[in-house]
Amino acid sequence: MIKTRFAPSPTGYLHIGGIRTALFNYAFAKKNQGEFYLRIEDTDEARSNQEAVDKILQGMDWLNLNHDGEIIYQSENKDRHKEVIQDLLKNGSAYECYCSKEELDEMRLAYEHKGLKPKYDGRWRPETGKTLPTKPADIQPVIRFKNPPTGFIKWDDLVKGSISVSNEELDDLILQRSDGTPTYNLSVVVDDIDMGITHVIRGDDHINNTPRQINIYKACGFDVPQFAHLSMILGEDGQKLSKRHGAASVTDYMDLGYLPESINNYLARLGWSHGDAEIFSLEQMCQWFSFDKVTSSASQFDLKKLNWINNHYIKTKNYDDIKTVLASKFIANDFDESKLQLIFELYKDRCHTLRDFEQHAETILGESRQIDEDLKIKYLNQDTLQHLKSLSIEFNNSDFSIGAIESTLKNFVKNRELKFPQIAMPLRVVLLGTDQSPSIGHIIAIIGKALFNKRMDRFL
Ligand code: GLU
């Protein structure tokens, strides 16, 4: 049975690259009728916090990336990590190192002096026939991994292809700090072993850890899982995606009025493809997913494309589908729901986000906007104001139904031998403060008599 996991560290917000990792883990597990787990890597007590955990859970829940089983908190496995470290000590795969900070600094400087990469020189590493230094009484030792001195670590990465690293490049890494806390590389391996993870799918910022972890698997006597290292997501300027580029956290996208299906669909395409398919559901992605279509090069975040996808999904919705996720400020305005429904239908083709829709609804139903001088000069001369006055009287004699508004408009333009925009544009400017909108007849019918007259009276 295939088992994957998403293993975020709750030390900040859940960024878009992180959730893409979760998505690919989820899709690969589902594709293979496997299981997908969530493990919160909260061992860094100083940096981990509950707010970050909540954001992770909220983001995954929003995107429907439901995990199997219970959430695993890495901090709860500390005793187990230490137990494994003791086993490694016993089987000769680890050893105590009593180097002081000063000694390590000297060691580093000595290497740097010779123009070499700093490295632990192995002074506490036990070897047959070697006499170790005397243990200092005032130092709590760290426990180091006894990395194999020669040979290569090789693996076939499901994304990056075949990778080989020489053991000579690897240090005897610390498994347990002098305060007794296990380190990241050890904890990850032990948890992945205990959870029975078969495929480790994560960001390629971890690729340097993988050979070290493979050696730990072997020293523990366990099979090494398969690895898939996903390439980075870059911003539109080619730099690593970060807050500088605008919204970087998943929950920001929720607040900005993106739909979960758009984010999943967009992130799926960011680094993976299925023929020419651009629009697909999470279920379809799960049916189609395979690593041979995951790119090994970095992908570039493209807000225009995300907006295009979000617009696609917004168009498929009814007002009832989206009303629960509208901004609270907007709901507080207490707009008439039946009008909001009509506005949504009228405007959804033009909305890249739900915030766009809210903006349009505000323009139509909210406090009327200041009108730019430019628009006034362009559209509101004495003649047009006269026309609007007469038209206004005709509308007021009707029942303000869409049928009545449209036929009044049509006849008015025809009788006065005007072109439709000569009336429609000034109406838009006076009623909405803009010269762009869908059918002005529909807007007038939505606004209704009272608001129509209020806005007209400002001018006439
Ligand atoms: N906790 C690590 C991170 O958030 C991921 C570890 C892993 O996936 O192996 O970057």
Check residue 242 and give its pLDDT. Answer: 78
CB-based contact 225:200 (threshold 8 Å): yes
Q: Is 9 in the pocket of ligand 1 (CB under 6 A)?
A: yes
Ligand 1 centre from 203 Cα, in Å? Answer: 8
* Cβ 10 under 6 angstroms from ligand 1: no
- Can you give the residue ranges of every domain in the chain? 77-230, 373-459
**pLDDT value, residue 247:** 75
Give residue 332's pLDDT.
Answer: 63
Does 367 have pLDDT greater than 70?
A: yes
Give CA 410 to chain center in angstroms.
Answer: 49
Q: pTM here?
A: 0.93
Ligand 1 atom closest to the Cα of residue 202 is 8
Closest C-alpha residue for ligand 1 atom 7 = 7
Half-sphere exposure of 39 (CA within 13 A, CB side): 29
pLDDT for 79-130, tens place per residue?
999 999 999 999 999 999 999 999 999 999 999 999 999 999 999 999 999 9
> Do the first three CATH levels of 77-230 and 373-459 match, i.e. the same topology?
no
Q: Give the whole-number percent of the chain exceeding pLDDT 90.
A: 90
CA atoms within 13 A of residue 51's CA, in its CB half-sphere: 5
What pLDDT, on a 0 to 100 scale, did the predictor assign at position 460? Answer: 74
The domain 373-459 having CATH identifier 1.10.10.350: the answer here is yes
Nearest to 308 by CA among 344, 259, 342: 259
pLDDT (tens digit, 9 = 90+) per residue, 446-460?
Answer: 999 999 999 999 877
Looking at residue 328, its pLDDT comes to: 64
Mutate to test the pocket of ligand 1, among 3, 4, 5, 9 (most ligand atoms within 8 A of CB): 9
Question: Taking 90 as the threshold, does the pLDDT of residue 31 lie above it?
Answer: yes
| Ligand 1 centroid to residue 11 C-alpha, Å | 11
Position 300 pLDDT exceeds 90: yes
7 lines ligand 1 (CB under 6 A): yes
Q: Which residues are catalytic?
A: 243
- Read off the pLDDT of each residue in 24-35 and give the average, rounded to a whole number: 98
Q: State the pLDDT at residue 329.
A: 61
Q: Are 259 and 314 in contact (CB under 8 A)?
A: yes
The tokens of 398 are what?
Answer: 């009707």
Of 74, 12, 83, 2, the closest CA to residue 38 belongs to: 74
Average pLDDT over residues 382-409: 96
206 lines ligand 1 (CB under 6 A): yes
- Answer yes or no: are the C-beta atoms of 455 and 431 closer than 8 Å: yes
Assign 159 a pLDDT band (cuts: 50, 70, 90). Answer: very high
pLDDT tens, position by position, 244-258: 787 778 999 999 999
Of all residues in the chain, what percent carry a pLDDT higher than 70?
Answer: 99
Q: Residue 21 Cα, ligand 1 centroid: separation in angstroms?
A: 10
The mean pLDDT value of the chain amounts to 95
In the structure, what pLDDT confidence band is assigned to residue 402 with cuts at 50, 70 and 90?
very high
Distance (Å, whole) CA 322 – CA 344: 10
Using CA atoms, how far residue 128 sits from 92, 125, 131, in Å, is 12, 10, 9
- How far apart are the C-alpha atoms of 258 and 254, rounded to whole Å? 5
pLDDT number for residue 369: 76
Of all protein residues, the one whose alpha carbon is nearest to atom 6 of ligand 1 is 7
Ligand 1 centroid to 8 CA: how many Å?
Answer: 5
Q: Residue 392: which region, alpha, beta or left (left: phi > 0; alpha: psi -120 to 50)?
A: alpha
Q: Is there an atom of ligand 1 within 6 Å of 8 CB? A: yes
pLDDT at residue 259 above 80?
yes
Cα–ligand 1 centroid distance for 302 (angstroms): 25
Helix (H, G, I), strand (E, B) or coil at 78: helix
CATH T-level assignment (fold) for domain 77-230: Rossmann fold (3.40.50)
In the three-class reduction of DSSP (H, G, I as helix; E, B as strand; rest coil), residue 310 is classed as helix
Q: What angle do CA 8, 203, 309 make, to 5 degrees?
A: 90
In three-state form (DSSP H/G/I as H, E/B as E, the rest C), the secondary structure along 125-150 is CCCCCCCCCCCCCCCCCEEEECCCCC
What pLDDT sits at residue 330?
64
Helical H runs in 75-179?
78-90, 101-113
DSSP letter for 15, please. Answer: B
More confident residue, 406 or 244: 406
Tokens at residue 358, please?
A: 């809210």
pLDDT tens per residue, range 188-241: 999 999 999 999 999 999 999 999 999 999 999 999 999 999 999 999 888 888
DSSP 333: T
Tell me the helices (H) and strands (E) count for the chain, helix number first. Answer: 19, 12
Residues across the chain: 460
